[in-house]
Amino acid sequence: MKIGVLAVQGAVREHILCLHRLGVEAVPVLRPADLAGLQGIILPGGESTAQWRLLSRAGLAEPLAEAIKGGLPVFGTCAGLILLAKRITNWPERYFGVLDVAVERNATGRQVDSFEATVAVDGLGEVPAVFIRAPAIREMGPGVEVLGRYAGEPVLVRQGAILGATFHPELTEDLRLHEFFLNLCRKG
């Protein structure tokens, strides 16, 4: 199995290490040719505006959008979720717009307000999570399934082959969410 990690900015190395620990070939995606042969892609946490600007400059925005719309499984964490969201409540731009959610950028506050917690995930139990200037899911369309909640709020959602988390699972030692994503890729 070959999984890509969008490598323009953000927690790229951490996701690649998680995938390697699971015995999967993980490749950085920096240009359109890197999409060839992928069975899934991870859009890491980082800064969504910077990521979009860089992937657009690399000519990657359109081919990646086409691949995702064509059914390539994708896992967006934190900024990656913002890139996937259909609407951003406190930002005028929209990026890929493929996940039927409205998100609020930086909803948990500034960098100093970051925290670690456990998230109740359906079928997995308590999963450790790191929230860093995390977005919040404010609205969801009917095709979006909530898989995980923190303090009663949705923090992990799925719509078909699209998985989105408001937090950083790659910054913990727990690999269950990456395994969950790999199972989506195997089905896709």
**Catalytic residue of the set 14, 15, 18, 78:** 78
- Dist CA 92 CA 84 (whole Å): 15
- Dist CA 92 CA 48 (whole Å): 13
Sequence-distant (6+) residues with CB within 8 A of 99 are 76, 81, 84, 85, 86, 144, 157, 159, 162, 164
- Whole-Å CA distances, 5 to 77, 97, 131, 148, 188: 11, 19, 20, 23, 17
| Active-site residue, 168 included | yes
**Catalytic residue of the set 15, 18, 168, 178:** 168
- What letter does residue 172 receive in the DSSP assignment? S
Categorise residue 12: left if φ over 0, alpha if ψ from -120 to 50, beta otherwise. Answer: alpha
Q: Is 183 helix (H, G, I), strand (E, B) or coil?
A: helix
Sequence-distant (6+) residues with CB within 8 A of 183 are none
Q: Structure tokens of 91?
A: 């930002």
| Active-site residue, 170 included | yes
**Catalytic residue of the set 15, 18, 170, 178:** 170
| Active-site residue, 18 included | no
- Cite the active site residues: 78, 168, 170
